[in-house]
Amino acid sequence: MNNKILISVVGPTAIGKTALGIHIANYFDTEIISADSRQFFKEMNIGTAVPSPEELSAAKHHFIQQISIEDQYSVGDFEKEAISKLTELFLNHDVVVMVGGSGLYIKSVIEGLDNFPDINPEIRKKLNKILAKEGLQPLQRKLQNLDPEYYANADIENPHRIIRALEICIGTGKKFSSFRNQKKSQRNFKTIEIGLTADRQIIYDRINQRVDLMMQAGLLEEAKNLYPKKHLNALNTVGYKELFSYLDNEIELDFAISEIKKNTRRFAKRQLTWFRKNDNIHWFDYKSKPEDINAFISEEIKKLH
């Protein structure tokens, strides 16, 4: 197994990861693991930019729309299932491709996760109630007080991360940061990490264009169908929550669309901040020829062997 290679393709949303992943998978005659946590859910399609039927038939994909928004599914669940699937795929392939923009999910496969103790679920319920009633700010202040080290580096606009850190702090009486960066699992494959990027304005223009295309493709109708379940955690995400506010008559449709664009741009900025901290990523301009990237990967594979 030690000569098996995982090729990880990362980058901000709407940059072209899906198309590049398919090129690489076809070149190496292999399959793709998706590491996009929003594409796991079968009820969400347009708003999560799930690969088209043509793309899915161009290369075999795993972890696309495999669970329900009703299911509890954590990054730890994904790590276990992805490693199991990789072990199976490596029986017939020397190379497997992983494509996605969910940094923590990607990291879980490449490096393994930190081990956290089990926490009383009532703590999370209480924190979610505070979030629903008072918003994110009181939780941010609480985290800054309990764990200033983590707060300084955390994505403090992400309620899931804030609540996760707080429940560990409260449940253990120790800082969340004290459980991080422990010795990780050893992986029996090597990883080559490829990143796609572009000037910020190009990324933003591509995002704005994609949101317009999603609306044309029926995103509002999809949100209407999901509206009765809007309380579910999986649906508290960009593209849906803004349209739920419109359906609640809180905002106009044009404003909801502009908010989707703005929040997606913010999301892309956070993705880039996360990935830029990783010195192992080899960056390519989004217009790079797939043939050139495949040639680069082939050379990297030779070095690893």
195 is known to lie in a ligand binding site: no
pLDDT score, position 194 = 98
Asked if 89 and 116 touch (Cβ cutoff 8 Å), the reply is no
Tens digits of residue pLDDT in 60-108 = 999 999 999 999 888 989 999 999 999 999 999 999 999 999 999 999 9
Q: Are residues 50 and 73 in the same domain?
A: yes
Q: Are residues 148 and 270 in the same domain?
A: no
pLDDT score, position 132 = 86
Q: Are residues 85 and 226 in the same domain?
A: yes
Using the 3D structure, point to which of 129, 154, 179 is the last residue of a domain. Answer: 179
pLDDT score, position 193 = 98
Asked if 207 and 268 touch (Cβ cutoff 8 Å), the reply is yes
Q: Are residues 96 and 147 in the same domain?
A: no
12 is known to lie in a ligand binding site: yes
pLDDT score, position 293 = 98
Asked if 236 and 179 touch (Cβ cutoff 8 Å), the reply is no
47 is known to lie in a ligand binding site: no
pLDDT score, position 182 = 67
CATH number of the domain residue 45 falls in:
3.40.50.300
Q: Are residues 68 and 213 in the same domain?
A: yes
- Helices and strands in the chain: count of H runs, count of E runs: 13, 6
Interaxial angle between packed helices 200-217 and 219-226, expressed in degrees from 0 to 180 and rounded to the nearest 10: 70
Q: Are residues 174 and 282 in the same domain?
A: no
pLDDT score, position 226 = 98
pLDDT score, position 153 = 83
pLDDT score, position 159 = 87
Rounded CA-CA distance 279/193 in Å is 10
As averages over each run of 10 residues, the pLDDT of the chain (305 residues) reads 90 97 98 97 96 97 97 91 97 97 95 85 91 91 94 85 92 90 79 97 98 98 97 93 97 98 96 94 98 98 91
Token pair of 220 as six digits: 């509002």
Q: Are residues 42 and 86 in the same domain?
A: yes
Asked if 42 and 67 touch (Cβ cutoff 8 Å), the reply is yes
Tens digits of residue pLDDT in 25-70 = 999 999 999 999 999 999 999 999 999 999 999 999 999 999 999 9
110 is known to lie in a ligand binding site: no
Range of the domain at 58: 5-113+184-304
Q: Are residues 67 and 145 in the same domain?
A: no
Q: Are residues 106 and 227 in the same domain?
A: yes
Using the 3D structure, point to which of 147, 164, 179 is the last residue of a domain. Answer: 179
Of 33, 24, 10, 30, nearest to 81 by C-alpha is 33
Asked if 127 and 139 touch (Cβ cutoff 8 Å), the reply is yes
17 is known to lie in a ligand binding site: yes
13 is known to lie in a ligand binding site: yes
pLDDT score, position 183 = 64
Using the 3D structure, point to which of 163, 179, 195 is the last residue of a domain. Answer: 179
135 is known to lie in a ligand binding site: no
β-pairing verdict for 32-34 and 281-285: unpaired
Domain count, the chain: 2
Q: Are residues 129 and 154 in the same domain?
A: yes
pTM of the full structure = 0.84
